[in-house]
A and B are shown apart, each in its own frame.
Chain A
Amino acid sequence: MNGELILVGLAGVLTAAAPLLFGVIGETFSERAGVINLSMNGTILLSAMGGFAVALATGSVVLGFLAGAAIGGLVALIVAFASITLRQSQVAVGFVLTLLCRDLSYFLGNPIMGETGPRLGTISLPVLGSLPVAGTLLFRHDIMTFLSFLLTVVAWIFIFRTRPGLKLRGIGERPAAAYVRGANVNLLRYLYTVLGGALAGLAGPIYSLSVKAGWKGTISGLDGIGWIVLAITIFGGWSPFRVALGAYLFSLLQWLGLVLQPALPGIPSQVLQVAPFPLMILTLLLVNIGNAEWVERSLARLPAPVRRAVARALRALNVTPPAALGIPFQKE
């Protein structure tokens, strides 16, 4: 394979990661505020179908994306209402919505299956787009891929370098303390859950209007993406740059699976497509195992230099969730 092909392939990896980025950053906002939006898989499917349907009917890609964001926000609002106001389990509500939105997308999307609709065009940035290597790789993409680069940086600055970001982390870590300092915990949780859902809702139309243009029902190949998004959010330790890294790694692995397929004729394509999943389990194991009690106990038995090295390695990988993740807040 020559260099140009590899370059185009890697540029494709960045494009394919764009919807994942919107999903994982959206989920990061939601979980940072203390709310797990488990409905990701349904949200992405329904917004993909809805976004495509609206774009098809109106001929406007922009309206398609707005519809996707609205659907994502609405589903997130249901999660927030059921968990914050009605105090039902976030996981339960999210799981039901996952299946419900998936079936809704298949049912409502039935009439538009296989139709050809509008899709996003590629933009080549002036000057930058004609650079030799970087031009192909970074500066000739559709608008959503560019926005996905920007989103990661903006999200990081917002969460870690601004006052509202500090408040956001506060309501997810120590809601009681945030409340005492004047934060309206539940209102903010509503807000960030809906914002996160709307961002994730953009992921759907990125698929149906660009990456995998069109709506093909059960064979759209989108079922499962939302679960990946949730796993990458954990892998990324609720930090925008690390979740972005996770999304790129995943996208790279899927591309490698496709590229390597001819070299591995005995393995059916369906198997290579799921190759990232065992790796996902392994990475989740690596980033979590430092939290396990027995690891600490067995570490204590090791000689000091080894212990320090292992402990440092584990700490570097280790992630801890927002302390109040999944726990309802009650002022009393």
Chain B
Amino acid sequence: MAEARVSHALVQIGAVLLALLLTTLVLLASKAPPFAAYANIVLGAVGSWEVIANVLVSWVPLLLATAGLLLTFTVGLWNIGIEGQITLGAIFTTWALRVLQASGMNPALIIAVSFLAGIMGGALWAMLAGALKTFGGVNEIFGGLGLNFVATALNLWLIFGPWKRPGVASMSGTVPFDHSLWLPTLTAQSRLSPAALLVAILSIALVYSLIQGTYFGLRLKAVGKNPHAAFLLGVPTWQYMMASFALCGVFAGLAGAVQVTSVYHRLIPSISSGYGYLGLMVAMLVNFRASLAAPVALFFAALNVGSIQLPIVLKLDSSLAGVLQGTLVLFVLFAQGARQRLLKGRSG
């Protein structure tokens, strides 16, 4: 057992080294100085309190998305539609804020209601993908993708149509909300909201205990391992699939609500910022185990924030972060496969 764990760790380290090697080759291929690029990313992620706070700002929605996705992965579903669920969460949040902003209600209460609205938006969009899957036989990947595009269109229509800025509508989004409706942040300049951070940490903890320590989690796992057998044993299969979709939508909706209330203070065209897809990568990298999700999501957030300065300092595209993340997940998948083959070869 201990030996297996050591070899597992070695394989993972090998995967990380290979990913770094390949990314370095990519850098060399584009005639960029690899060391300077890496140093720039590290500095950009941990070089000052300001950027560290930015990493945490980016960690929150990523962790929320990952938390939700761990639930859908547990029942064996690929919730690619999570991007749209984040967007709908943001749209519903904005909608609630717009309706209530002039009502004279207590701002804290308005924010709370807008979060609830965001949760509903995310959950509804997720259940739509779930219903297409369970009742319509539409593969959740394609239903979800289609719904992502529809969510983007809806978002753009709102920004350029009914919710446009007075005068001229623009890609910069809707009119920012009044300061009283912003989620309180750590310092005046920072966008880091302790409340949002707390919500994200509680969410991943909740998902971890739900999967590891409850009857509900056990049944989710049963459906994920073998839906037919689970059904024969009396697990209401489609209800569990719908429940995992809805719960994932809840966390996605929360991510959208956080983006609106604490990061952008308005609705913008790319409000989901790719956190849903990145969450899928994090979930894959931790091999769908909740215990490692938080640190890995933090690492991915650091890469994203760290690479923001690359275009300015080194004239490199910031997609380098994505290249590093992608090769990392790819080699970890390779390593898992290679390890399974080796172990099987030894036992048989």
A residues with a Cβ closer than 8 A to B are 38, 78, 82, 85-88, 91-93, 95-97, 99-100, 102-104, 106-108, 110-111, 217, 224, 227, 230-231, 234, 266-268, 270-271, 274-275, 277-278, 280-281, 284-285, 288-292, 294
Given the interface pairs A227-B145, A271-B157, A284-B142, the reply to whether A82 lies near B337 with Cβ below 8 Å is yes
Cross-chain contact of B337 among A88, A102, A290 (Cβ < 8 A): A88
- What are 9 A-to-B residue pairs whose CB atoms are below 8 Å? A97-B330, A103-B325, A104-B326, A108-B30, A267-B161, A281-B150, A288-B137, A288-B139, A292-B135
> B297 CB to closest chain A CB, in angstroms?
16
A288, B317: Cβ atoms under 8 Å? no
**A230 — nearest CB in chain B belongs to which residue?**
B142
B330, A274: Cβ atoms under 8 Å? no
Residues of A within 8 A of B160 (CB): 268, 270-271
Given the interface pairs A106-B319, A270-B153, A284-B143, the reply to whether A292 lies near B137 with Cβ below 8 Å is yes
A93, B330: Cβ atoms under 8 Å? yes
| B277 contacts partner chain A, Cβ-Cβ < 8 Å | yes
In the bound complex, how far is the Cα of B316 from the Cα of A76, in angstroms? 28
In the bound complex, how far is the Cα of B139 from the Cα of A231, in angstroms? 10
> A42 CB to closest chain B CB, in angstroms?
9
**B337 — nearest CB in chain A belongs to which residue?**
A86
B residues with a Cβ closer than 8 A to A are 26, 29-30, 78, 80, 132, 135-139, 141-143, 145-147, 149-150, 152-153, 156-157, 160-161, 169, 277, 280-281, 284, 315-317, 319-323, 325-327, 329-330, 333-334, 336-338, 340-341
Residues of B within 8 A of A82 (CB): 330, 333-334, 337
Which of B136, B160, B281, B316 has the most CB atoms of chain A within a 10 A radius of its CB? B136
Given the interface pairs A110-B30, A274-B150, A288-B138, the reply to whether A217 lies near B323 with Cβ below 8 Å is no
Given the interface pairs A96-B333, A108-B30, A268-B157, the reply to whether A274 lies near B319 with Cβ below 8 Å is no
Residues of B within 8 A of A110 (CB): 30, 315-317
B317, A96: Cβ atoms under 8 Å? no
In the bound complex, how far is the Cα of B341 from the Cα of A231, in angstroms? 33
A281, B138: Cβ atoms under 8 Å? yes
**B339 — nearest CB in chain A belongs to which residue?**
A86
Cross-chain contact of A289 among B136, B317, B322, B333 (Cβ < 8 A): B136
Cross-chain contact of B334 among A86, A99, A288 (Cβ < 8 A): A86
B284, A92: Cβ atoms under 8 Å? yes
A231, B146: Cβ atoms under 8 Å? yes
In the bound complex, how far is the Cα of B22 from the Cα of A107, in angstroms? 14
A107, B142: Cβ atoms under 8 Å? no
B26, A104: Cβ atoms under 8 Å? yes
Residues of A within 8 A of B284 (CB): 92, 95-96
> B277 CB to closest chain A CB, in angstroms?
6
A102, B322: Cβ atoms under 8 Å? yes
Which of B137, B141, B325 has the most CB atoms of chain A within a 10 A radius of its CB? B137
In the bound complex, how far is the Cα of B323 from the Cα of A78, in angstroms? 16
> A293 CB to closest chain B CB, in angstroms?
9
Given the interface pairs A217-B317, A281-B146, the reply to whether A271 lies near B136 with Cβ below 8 Å is no
Given the interface pairs A99-B322, A107-B320, A110-B316, the reply to whether A285 lies near B334 with Cβ below 8 Å is no
> B222 CB to closest chain A CB, in angstroms?
19
Given A281-B138, A281-B146, A290-B137, 8 other A-B residues pairs in contact with their CB atoms under 8 A: A85-B341, A86-B340, A87-B341, A100-B322, A100-B329, A110-B315, A275-B153, A285-B138
B326, A107: Cβ atoms under 8 Å? no
B135, A294: Cβ atoms under 8 Å? yes
**A83 — nearest CB in chain B belongs to which residue?**
B337
Cross-chain contact of A88 among B137, B156, B333 (Cβ < 8 A): B333
Cross-chain contact of B30 among A78, A107, A217, A271 (Cβ < 8 A): A107
In the bound complex, how far is the Cα of B317 from the Cα of A88, in angstroms? 31
> A220 CB to closest chain B CB, in angstroms?
13
In the bound complex, how far is the Cα of B136 from the Cα of A290, in angstroms? 8
B336, A88: Cβ atoms under 8 Å? yes
A99, B277: Cβ atoms under 8 Å? yes
Which of A38, A108, A266, A281 has the most CB atoms of chain B within a 10 A radius of its CB? A281
Given the interface pairs A86-B334, A107-B317, A280-B146, the reply to whether A288 lies near B277 with Cβ below 8 Å is no
Residues of A within 8 A of B156 (CB): 268, 270-271
In the bound complex, how far is the Cα of B169 from the Cα of A266, in angstroms? 12
> A277 CB to closest chain B CB, in angstroms?
4
Given the interface pairs A96-B284, A231-B145, A271-B157, the reply to whether A285 lies near B330 with Cβ below 8 Å is no
In the bound complex, how far is the Cα of B329 from the Cα of A85, in angstroms? 18
> B318 CB to closest chain A CB, in angstroms?
9
Given the interface pairs A277-B149, A288-B138, the reply to whether A107 lies near B334 with Cβ below 8 Å is no
B323, A100: Cβ atoms under 8 Å? yes
A93, B137: Cβ atoms under 8 Å? no
Residues of B within 8 A of A107 (CB): 26, 30, 316-317, 319-320, 322-323
**A274 — nearest CB in chain B belongs to which residue?**
B153
Residues of B within 8 A of A271 (CB): 153, 156-157, 160
> A330 CB to closest chain B CB, in angstroms?
11
Which of B147, B330, B336 has the most CB atoms of chain A within a 10 A radius of its CB? B330
Residues of B within 8 A of A277 (CB): 146, 149-150, 153
B322, A103: Cβ atoms under 8 Å? yes
**A105 — nearest CB in chain B belongs to which residue?**
B319
